[in-house]
Amino acid sequence: MPTPPAQPTHPNPPPTHSSPPAQPAHANPPTHPSPLTPPRKLLLGVSGSVAALGLPGYLYAFRAAGVSEIIAVVTTSALQFLPVTGLAALCDRVCTDGDSSLGHVALARWAEHTLVLPATAHLLGCLANGLAPSLLATTLLAVDGPVTLAPAMNAAMWRRPAVRRNVATLRADGHQVIDPVPGAVYEVASRAVVAGIAVPPPAVVLERISA
């Protein structure tokens, strides 16, 4: 009985499943977020908290990131912690309640971004309720541009319903409020460093005020 003819063999049979061609290593380079652009003209509000003692570190960071002009508006209570001379070396101008040479409307129009650091519970309450007992509070009410608030206060105060309502109102009004973070803070009442809440570090604040 004759045998069937042998089937031809292929030295390199075609694959049964096709696969996409390999991409060169440089075809899809990794993407990186675009660098932040800080405001060129920053209006800095300073209210009366011991956290004002840490302002120089923030100002150094802002200058290093490209903020070219800084005008500080300081409340009378803030001057107990950081005198004008302590800010003048790092700011282009320092305005206080007794300084009438530059009014609140001019300050508000000058700013590209307004940052209040530190922002006390009193300052938050004034802005949330439209009160203007100081040059800083009056200026904030006149600002049409972006406003960022960095609260600094005792943790128990931060939890109070009245403060939480004010924060909610400020956010609903379009203001940016940076939540404080857990950390070691100096407590004036006890003259000791205690566990509490603090303004986030300069890098975080800089990111929040940048475009």
Write out the two tokens for 107: 């300050």
CA distance to 115, 125, 139, per residue, from 172 (Å): 17, 14, 19
Write out the two tokens for 39.
């405001």
Instruction: Tell me whether residue 10 is one of the annotated catalytic residues.
Output: no
- Which one from 10, 104, 113, 122 is the annotated catalytic residue? 104
> Please, what is the end-to-end C-alpha distance for the chain in angstroms?
88
Q: Are 91 and 62 in contact (CB under 8 A)?
A: no
Inter-helix orientation angle 121-128/135-142, to 10°: 40
Structure tokens at 112: 């590209």
Contact 154, 164 (CB under 8 A): no
Burial class of 24 by CB neighbour count within 10 A (0 to 12, 13 to 18, 19+):
exposed
Q: Which residues are catalytic?
A: 104
